[in-house]
Every structure is written in C-alpha cells, then in structure tokens.
Amino acid sequence: MFDYAFYWSMVWAKFPMLLDGAFLTIQITVLSVVLGLLAAIPLALWRRNGKGALALFASAWIESARNTPALFQIYMAYFGLGAVGLHLSSYTALLIAIVFNNAGYLAEVLRGGLEGVAPQQAPAARSLGMNAFQSFTYVIFPQLFRIIFFPFVNQVNWALLNTSLGMMIGLRELTGATQMAQAESFRTFEFFLVAAGMYYVIAKIISLGALTAAWRIFRD
C-alpha cells in the first residue's frame, strides 16, 4: 500500500511558479477587500436609511451575495456576462465576483457596527459644541472601529480563501498555479500540500498583523 514515494524536489523546482501565484493571490485579496469595503459603505447606509429603490438595491445585492456560493458569483461574472457579450478576463471576473461577495458581507459587518454605537452619542458630542465632522471622527468612528475590527479581519480571511476559486476559471493565482505546476509531474499531493502550507502562512501573517494592529489601537 505504501509504495508511493514523495518527490519534494519536483515541487522545489517549480516553486517560483507557486510564488508568482501567491503574489497574485495576495494582490487580489487586498484589492478585493479595499474595493469591497468602499462598496459596502454606501450599501450599509442605503439599507438602513435609504428610501425605496436604493434600500431595495442594497438589500438585493447583500442578500444575493450572502445566499449564493462564491463560485456561482464567479461563474456569473465569467460565463454569465460572457453570454451577454461582456467577455472579461479571468482576473477581472474573479476580482469583480469577490468584490461583489465581500461588499455583501462587509455591509452586514458595518451594519453591526452602526447599530452598536448608541444613537445618543452623536447628540452628546454635538451638544458640547463639536461640529458633525469632529463628532464623527472623535466619538462615533472610534467606537464603530472597535466593533467591526475582528469581523472585518475574518472577512479578509474569507476573501483569501475565495481567491482559490480562480483556478476554476483558469486564473493562475496560487491554486491555479499549483494546478499548472503539478500537471507535468502528477505529484498532486506534494504540490498541493506545499500550496496549503503557503495559504496557511499567508493567513497567519494576516492574523498576526491584525493582532498587532489591535494591540496598538485598543490599548485598554
């Protein structure tokens, strides 16, 4: 049964390919989180305070992002849009889909934050003579930030995991690159074990960064 020999040297030979994939993975993760957050802000506000059409639009986006698989959203971006004539590259389709997905989840995180700050904090600050900008910067935002911090970091991790789906539409991020790299030698297990390790390292870097930031900002 155990007549399988593990050939790690083959992985090492193709390591640069994996590394390139890793960089692409990190790039897409960061970009999708930033863009997703930017989109999530208006979505969260519209869902809470918007009138009619805007609130409906926001709810539709948020609920479809959260109740359908990420892979489905990626296929929609890649195949679905292709069917109506908009042919996107794998990179663009993946990015758009993950941004769409992130925005939906982050909008809910923001909502939790907004609901977590007592509504009387703003008038309390204003009654001391602060203007709207000051009251937001010094009173509302610090409280908001503390509430959303860890859910936000979770979402960054989530985005990282979702980038691996790029393989399914041919993108050479880390998983896709690994797939290509192992195609010649068929050392599937070894290659993907290394890839798994790389994902683990990236995830650890993210949580380490988050903990450091948390320690510095939330000095209680």
Residues forming the site for another protein (CB under 8 A)? 1-4, 63-64, 66-72, 75-76, 79-80, 82-84, 118, 120-121, 123-131, 134, 138-139, 142-143, 146, 157, 161-162, 164-165, 167-168, 175, 178, 188-189, 192-193, 195-196, 199-200, 203-204, 220
Q: How far apart are CB 25 and another protein at their closest, in Å?
A: 10
Contact between 102 and 32 (Cβ < 8 Å)? yes
Cα(105)–Cα(98) distance, integer angstroms: 11
Question: Would you tell me how many other CB atoms lie within 10 Å of the CB of residue 19?
Answer: 13
Cα(34)–Cα(130) distance, integer angstroms: 30
Q: Which is nearer to another protein, 89 or 121 (CB)?
A: 121
Minimal CA–CA distance to 79: which of 91, 88, 67? 88
Geometric angle at alpha carbon 173, from 172 and 179, rounded to 5°: 60
Question: CA dist 58 to 29, 70, 207, Å?
Answer: 23, 18, 30
Q: Which is nearer to another protein, 50 or 146 (CB)?
A: 146
Q: How far apart are CB 31 and another protein at their closest, in Å?
A: 18
Q: Which is nearer to another protein, 38 or 71 (CB)?
A: 71
**Which position has the token pair 């939330």?**
218
Q: How far apart are CB 145 and another protein at their closest, in Å?
A: 9
Q: Which is nearer to another protein, 49 or 134 (CB)?
A: 134
Q: Which is nearer to another protein, 41 or 71 (CB)?
A: 71
Minimal CA–CA distance to 206: which of 8, 15, 60, 25? 25
Positive or negative CA dihedral for 194, 197, 201, 202?
positive
Q: Which is nearer to another protein, 38 or 65 (CB)?
A: 65
Q: How far apart are CB 182 and another protein at their closest, in Å?
A: 9
Q: How far apart are CB 55 and another protein at their closest, in Å?
A: 17
Q: How far apart are CB 26 and another protein at their closest, in Å?
A: 14
